[in-house]
Structure 1
Amino acid sequence: MNRSGLHACLRWIAMACLGLVLLNTAGCATSESNRLDALTTPEPDALRVRAMRRLSLATAYFEQGQNDVAQQEVRAALQIDPQFAEAYSLLGLIHQRDNAPELAQQSFAQALRLASAASRPAELAAVQHNQAWFLCQQNRLDEAQALFAQALAQPMYRQQAKTWMAQGLCQQRAGRLSEARNSLHTALTLEPNHPIARYQLAVLDWQVSHPSEAQATLAPLNNSAQASAASLWLGVRLARALAQPQDQQRLSAQLLQRFPHSAEAQALAQQKFEVQ
């Protein structure tokens, strides 16, 4: 897997986790407020709605790479609602991106404490997922695996495919390739159209010299609008390894047409088929 593909995958995973957290919180607040008259809504709910607005802004800035502004919005959300676990979880991701692991760990620990006390399993699972991914990036792989397992065990957790995928990437990082394949396969079984899980499973099969299996896994992705420069480039190399010149030419044309300025297109132009 090339560096640009890896960075895209890591960024996507972080964004997916954030979307999950905010979606869960918004759903709880909306369903609760719909059951109550606006004039009698308890103050904690009103505070949470205000804090959610600031956290939504923080998430948008974080997605744009504006860490400083994102952190300001997170802290504004926490000034409104100091018990907002999801805000601490995002703060942990911000510190992680800023290469401040001690601050990230503190934020994730606080998020876990608050989410556990709130007795909302789905939100707790999302926080556990985020911290597990942080631990994986710190090479604290056994701790990460334990937290991934806890997240997957939470009742009413609807984003298991993303957690299985992240766990698979972590296992792959640790060299546990058989476990990684099982996790990625489970993610893909739960969510067949998951582009990252499909791509990563194909990468794993390619790395262990199973090009036919990798091609069968990757083909649905490259035949869809979700294809990326990384997935098309892998498809090109697989077709070349399997002596399929027509498929190689077809995928090469797609790569050059859709992603002409990508690192993968440059590698294709330079015929660097062995570059990972």
Structure 2
Amino acid sequence: MIKPMLAVGMLSLVLTGCMTTTTGEKPRKTDPNAARDSYIQLGIGYLQEGETERAKAPLSEALKLDPRSSAAHTALALVFQQEGEDTSAEQHFRAALAAEPDSARILNNYGAFLLAQERYNEALQQFEKASRDTLYRERSRVFENLGLTHSRMDNTEAAKASFERALRLNSRQPLALLELAKIEFQQQHYVPAWEYYRRFTQLSGQTASSLWLGVQLARRFEDHNRAASYALQLRRLYPASPEARALKASESS
């Protein structure tokens, strides 16, 4: 990620690059597309650092140079989404799609925004369109998002198929592995649930939800040491979580 001091240095370079210079003969201007891209990279750097206020200025400058820049609109949409300015975020997502309607990257980002808004049918449309781009390098994540959307809509079999598709594209997707473990556990298919969960733990840190699932699976297989270990982590790391309360209730029943 770009450090703040480096980002400030980049800004001065970008501003210099946008100026007209003279060599004693003819005035020479730098490439406005290069200046636009530099502004976008600067804004993304601030966004990655969590400095959303500082990200807005260079991204706005990029849009002055190119009002239809899908990259600048997408970055600003993510800035506003992070700030909770949902109306502005959606405006920029739509502007980005107007400029580049078939971009799987933008469709996936917009779908994730809609999913967070609990606008499931709309999110599903974006993810389904993004999933058709067979050359998109993050396609496995699109199918993960499709799975999450179907899960929220209680379309369990469609969710399962989407998560399985994600793993066929990239077997090292911890979210898909965990969600499949949950589905298999709910369907009382404990052996595949345990296998998905085991693979998940090799790739990711634990959450309250995953630890509680681990406790329940370990108990099913009478792995008392592992169940006790997961329970201890759950109580220590997430003492106020609903999962910790469920654990306490299960131990007193």
| TM-score bracket relative to the smaller structure | 0.7 to 0.9
* Two-structure CA RMSD over aligned residues (Å): 3.2
1:81-160 counterparts in 2 under 5 A? 81-116=66-101, 124-160=103-139
Contact 1:132 1:148 in 2 (8 A): yes
Cα distance in 2 between the residues matched to 1:239 and 1:170: 28
Aligned-pair identity (%): 26
**1:112-261 to 2 correspondence within 5 Å?**
112-116=97-101, 124-222=103-201, 224=202, 226-230=204-208, 231-252=210-231, 255=233, 260-261=236-237
Distance change (3 Å), C-alpha of 1:103 and 1:49: closer
| Greater relative contact order (Cα < 8 A, sep 6+) | 1
Is the radius of gyration larger for structure 1 or structure 2?
2
TM-score of the pair, normalised by structure 1: 0.68
Correspondent of 1:53 among 19, 41, 44 = 41
Deviation at 1:153, TM superposition (A): 1.4
SS of 1:83 mapped into structure 2: coil
**How many pairs are equivalent?**
222
Q: With structure 2 as the length reference, what TM-score do the two structures score?
A: 0.73
* 1:165 shift after superposition: 0.2
Measure, in 2, the Cα distance between the counterparts of 1:167 and 1:103.
24
Structure 1 runs not aligned, ≥5 long? 1-39
CA deviation string 1:153-212 (max 9, x = no partner): 125211110000011101111111110111011112211111122112222333444333
* 4+ aligned runs moved over 6 Å, structure 1: none
Aligned partner letter, 2:42: R
Residue equivalent to 1:75 = 60
List alignment gaps of at least 5 residues for structure 2: 1-27
Change in CA separation of 1:51 and 1:187 when aligned onto 2, cut-off 3 Å: same
How much does 1:129 deviate? 0.6
Q: Structure 1 residues 86 and 269 mapped into 2: Cα distance closer, same or farther (>3 Å)?
A: same
User: Is the CA contact (8 Å cut-off) linking 2:144 and 2:162 kept in structure 1?
Assistant: yes
Q: How far does residue 89 in structure 1 lie from its aligned partner after superposition?
A: 1.6
Name the structure where helix makes up a greater proportion of residues: 1
